[in-house]
Amino acid sequence: MRVLRRYLLVSFFRLVTITTLLLSFILLLFDLFSHLEQYLQAEIALRSIVYATILYFPEAIVFAIPPSALFASTYILSMMHTHNEMIILNNSGISFRRLVSILIIASLFLSIFQFFFNEEIAIKAHRIKNDYTQEILDQNVTSDNRNITLYGFDRSYIVYARRFTEIDNRITQVSLYHLDKEGSLLERVDATTGVYNEGSWTLQNANIYSIENNEAEYSFLSSYTPSYFTLEPSFFANKNNEVITMDLPDALRYVESIKLIRKNEFSLIASDVYNRIFKNLAPLILILISCSTVFAWKKNVLMLSIIMSISIAVVFLCYASYGDDFS
């Protein structure tokens, strides 16, 4: 059994490695040709183009590992059926279930490897590639945002801003609502602009409507700094795409913060973060599908096994993406 286990593991990881490198090279070509027109128009040097393309290689490996694992497990099991090796193993007392358990355990370690490789190498390379591509193409990508509504962490106020400008941490056309513990309005502030400075926001041209003992009062201040308004500018910025490239602990903390202060965007941002984590289970899931497929066809066993595995995988992924709407 030890010899068989070693044979299966060596064959499996060798096929996964070769297929992953091949698919990664194809993905590199797709990335190159998808940006080639921009590179040529900007007259980018060949060395810079090659460097920017190579930076995509770790991310391409992450995309290539799951289908490579599917192909490797399907190929190995199909060839064992084709060459009647399964008959010999069954006569030796080794069941098919025991055989595929080796591949399933190998796929579990492959998923763990993909997770750490993605977090430690692929995401960092993706971040460097984005920065380098923006530099050579002279692109300026900001996190400016529009029509932002946020809650305070303690739920004591709500703030709306028509626009946020990242370069100077400025919000414009601001409406601020201060609430008591029961949710009743204590104060409303309408201001033309707000600037963040040393942990607080200074609102300019503020119209202040305060309510006390069921009586409303109005006042106007050219500069007003509410002590309770302490949200950092980063929460006003549009960081939906940056969550994918943040360090995972920072991304999880950001999602928890968004759940409190920007509930309407929580599901979208959280799905990106959770997809980043759970997509690494793809090798395990695809190999489970592969091992549950019937391999005992008498003709064209390899092609039929691959087609069946891919078909089941497509149905599974569509159902996982669309849920009950898929039916």
In this structure, the answer to whether residues 44 and 152 fall within a common structural domain is no
Token reading at 46: 């060949």
**pLDDT exceeds 50 at position 326:** no
| Residue 232 parent element (H or E) | none
Least confident of 16-25, 79-88, 222-231, 275-284: 79-88
Is the Cβ–Cβ distance between 147 and 167 less than 8 Å? no
This prediction has a pTM of: 0.71
Cα 202-205-208 angle, rounded to 5 deg? 85
Within this chain, do residues 10 and 135 fall inside the same structural domain, yes or no?
Answer: yes
Residue 225's domain comprises 145-238
Q: Give the separation between CA 112 and CA 290, rounded to whole angstroms.
A: 19
Same domain, 135 and 188: no
Q: Is there a single domain that holds both residue 281 and residue 134? A: yes
Same domain for 110 and 150: no
pLDDT in tens, 250-306: 777 777 777 767 666 677 777 878 888 888 988 888 888 777 765 544 445 555 556
Pair (104, 152) in one structural domain: no
Q: Give the C-alpha separation, 101 to 284, whole Å.
A: 11
| Residue 54 pLDDT level (bands cut at 50, 70, 90) | very high
* Predicted pLDDT at 165: 86
Average pLDDT over residues 157-174: 87
Q: Which of 155, 160, 211 minimizes the C-alpha distance to 187?
A: 211
Weakest mean pLDDT among 51-60, 202-211, 252-261: 252-261
Q: Of 188, 220, 238, which residue sits at a domain end?
A: 238
> Among 33-47, 107-121, 161-175, 239-253, whose mean pLDDT is lowest?
239-253
* Residue 22 resides in a domain: yes
Domain boundary residue among 238, 263, 287?
238
